[in-house]
């Protein structure tokens, strides 16, 4: 007949019927417990349950105490009884009679010991009935912590990129349920998020620095620096900001070291009216993306000629004293009567260095020629006159009778300071050809 098979109510380990007899398992109310779990129950279970386990343990130990066998008793008697030894060694009749009597006495003692050894002990009183053991489940706090942890893990699984939100959920669990297993696990989750954040940050930094190198190879220094400055705000850690600061410093050093020789070459080209060379140098500086260096170059080019000063209250800006800036698609004619022709590119503009003797609103007068249309093709557009660091105004070109009909037209006023400044004329909108420009006049206020 097979043995009874049950399972521990706590750890679900398999228990057979003989385990109860050997003291390797115990019955606790209507449930079973392995030896390990039963010993743990002794520390927390009610007193009746503890007594029930201990009594079962005692019975198991009693079963292991087996009474001595008759053969072992006989050997003991032989070793300790002089009468038996004498009977075994007796040689004379008289001594043999004494030996026989001794043997009889020994046999009586042996029989008595056997009978006494087989005498059954009184059965121990039956233990009082004990209530069934109810294994405690999780406390309300543990249950609430487990539920919150499950929700946080589910959110992290569904939203792997939302690390800030994940951090908030796990931090709340770690703080509110600090002494629960769920609280400890939430702390481990936070450590994992921190590692993931650092890995992502390192990958972002590598890509950012690689992109800045690409821009620097194309001489787009300021664009690279601006991207680094914007990205620097994303993380405050030194591991993020220090490499970015070092790279920004490298880009600024590159611009500051390259600019002086470029400016010197542009000034020399401007002195010999090498407009094409000036434009190439300026285009390179413009490519850097730094308005500071572009303005510095323009001021240096404008200062090649002495600042234009007023004569009779009029500052006349002739083309011979102008700096041509841009794509160089427009042309400045040679000879004494210089004009600008083929002004078709919005990127082309003119600069003058001006030294007004008084501040105020100067009247703008421009001498130019442009037909309204020719052979069905319209001309003209809009332009801007701007003072560096000051006012800028837009105007619409008024047509003249033809390309050879140069007229001086007044376009309003513009504010000039009392100090040296740069005045620029730039296209805003070109309709095929802006104008053929001869000169500008800025008339001082009265």
- The string of DSSP codes covering 194-261 is HHHHHHHHHHHHHHHHHHHHHHHHTT-HHHHHHHHHHHHTT--SHHHHHHHHHHHHHHHHHHHHHHHH
Looking at residue 12, its pLDDT comes to 82
Q: Are residues 372 and 435 in the same domain?
A: yes
Q: Are residues 429 and 331 in the same domain?
A: yes
406 closest CA partner among 439, 369, 441? 369
212 closest CA partner among 191, 196, 232, 237? 232
Instruction: Report which listed range, 72-76, 206-210, 398-402, is most confident.
Output: 398-402
Q: Are residues 355 and 409 in the same domain?
A: yes
Helix and strand counts by DSSP (H, E) for the chain: 13, 17
Tell me: pLDDT of 94 over 80: no
Inside any domain, residue 316: yes
Q: Are residues 157 and 245 in the same domain?
A: no
Work out the pLDDT band at 23, boundaries 50, 70, 90.
Answer: confident
| Close Cβ partners of 191 (under 8 Å, ≥ 6 residues apart) | none
Looking at residue 118, its pLDDT comes to 47
b (16+ CB within 10 A) / e for 26-57: bbbbebbbbbebbeebeeebeeebbebbeebb
From 304, 324, 343, give the residue that closes a domain: 304
Q: Are residues 242 and 345 in the same domain?
A: no
54-65: pLDDT as tens digits? 888 888 888 776
Average pLDDT estimate for 132-156: 81
| Total count of domains within the chain | 4
Q: Are residues 290 and 368 in the same domain?
A: no
Inside any domain, residue 11: yes
Q: Are residues 315 and 286 in the same domain?
A: no
Inside any domain, residue 76: no
Average pLDDT estimate for 180-207: 91
31 closest CA partner among 57, 54, 12? 12
Q: Are residues 294 and 318 in the same domain?
A: no
Average pLDDT estimate for 154-181: 92
Tell me: pLDDT of 285 over 60: yes
Q: Could you report how far apart the first and last alpha carbons of the chain are, in Å? A: 130
Domain that holds residue 271: 232-304
CB contact at 8 A, 21 and 28: no
Looking at residue 100, its pLDDT comes to 45
Q: Are residues 158 and 238 in the same domain?
A: no
From 63, 89, 106, give the residue that closes a domain: 63
Compute the distance between CA of residue 154 and CA of residue 148 in angstroms, rounded to an integer.
Answer: 10
| Close Cβ partners of 242 (under 8 Å, ≥ 6 residues apart) | none
Q: Are residues 165 and 205 in the same domain?
A: yes
Pick the range with the lowest mean pLDDT from 162-176, 278-292, 318-332.
Answer: 318-332
Inside any domain, residue 149: yes
Q: How far is residue 429 from each of residues 123, 210, 435, measured CA to CA in Å?
A: 119, 39, 12
From 186, 213, 240, give the residue that closes a domain: 213
Inside any domain, residue 117: no
pTM: 0.40
Q: Are residues 315 and 436 in the same domain?
A: yes
Instruction: Work out whether the CA dihedral 429, 434, 439, 444 comes out positive or negative.
Output: negative
Q: Are residues 294 and 397 in the same domain?
A: no
Work out the pLDDT band at 42, boundaries 50, 70, 90.
Answer: confident
CB contact at 8 A, 190 and 170: yes
DSSP 3-state of 105: helix
Work out the pLDDT band at 124, boundaries 50, 70, 90.
Answer: low
Domain CATH code at residue 343: 2.60.120.260
Inside any domain, residue 59: yes
């Amino acid at each position: 007949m097979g043995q009874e098979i049950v399972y521990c109510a706590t750890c679900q380990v398999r228990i057979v019927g003989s385990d109860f007899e050997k003291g390797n398992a115990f019955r606790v109310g209507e449930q079973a417990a392995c030896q390990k779990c039963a010993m743990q129950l002794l520390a927390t279970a009610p007193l009746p349950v503890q007594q029930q386990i201990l009594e079962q343990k005692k019975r198991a130990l009693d079963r292991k105490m087996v009474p001595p066998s008759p053969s072992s008793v006989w050997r003991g008697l032989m070793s300790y009884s002089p009468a038996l030894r004498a009977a075994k060694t007796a040689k004379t009749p008289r001594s043999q009679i004494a030996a026989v009597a001794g043997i009889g006495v020994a046999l009586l003692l042996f029989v008595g010991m056997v009978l006494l050894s087989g005498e059954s002990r009184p059965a121990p009183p039956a233990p009082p009935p004990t209530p069934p053991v109810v294994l405690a489940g999780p406390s309300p706090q543990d249950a609430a912590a487990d539920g919150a942890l499950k929700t946080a893990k589910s959110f992290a699984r569904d939203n792997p990129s939302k690390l800030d939100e994940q951090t908030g959920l796990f931090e709340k669990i770690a703080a509110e349920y600090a002494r629960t297993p769920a609280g400890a696990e939430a702390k481990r989750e936070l450590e994992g998020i921190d590692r993931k954040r650092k890995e992502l940050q390192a990958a972002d930094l590598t890509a950012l620095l690689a992109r800045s190198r690409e821009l620097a190879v194309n001489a787009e220094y300021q664009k690279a620096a601006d991207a680094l400055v914007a990205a620097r705000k994303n993380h405050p850690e030194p591991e993020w900001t220090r490499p970015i600061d070092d790279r920004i410093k490298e880009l600024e050093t590159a611009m500051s070291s390259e600019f002086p020789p470029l400016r010197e070459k542009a000034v020399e080209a401007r002195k010999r009216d090498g407009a094409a060379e000036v434009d190439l140098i300026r285009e390179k500086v413009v490519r850097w993306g730094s308005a500071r260096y572009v303005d510095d170059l323009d001021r240096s080019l404008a200062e090649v000629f002495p600042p234009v000063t007023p004569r009779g209250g009029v500052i006349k800006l002739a083309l011979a004293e102008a700096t041509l800036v841009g794509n160089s698609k427009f042309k400045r004619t040679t000879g004494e009567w210089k004009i600008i022709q083929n002004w078709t590119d919005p990127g082309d503009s003119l600069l003058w260095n001006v030294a007004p003797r008084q501040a105020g609103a100067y009247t703008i007068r421009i001498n130019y020629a442009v037909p309204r249309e020719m052979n069905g093709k319209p001309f003209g557009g809009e332009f801007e006159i701007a003072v560096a660091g000051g006012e800028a105004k837009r105007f619409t070109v008024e047509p003249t009778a033809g390309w050879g009909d140069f007229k001086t037209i007044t376009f309003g006023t513009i504010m000039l300071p009392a100090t040296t400044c740069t005045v620029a004329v730039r296209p805003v909108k070109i309709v095929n050809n802006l104008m053929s420009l001869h000169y500008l006049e800025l008339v001082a206020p009265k």
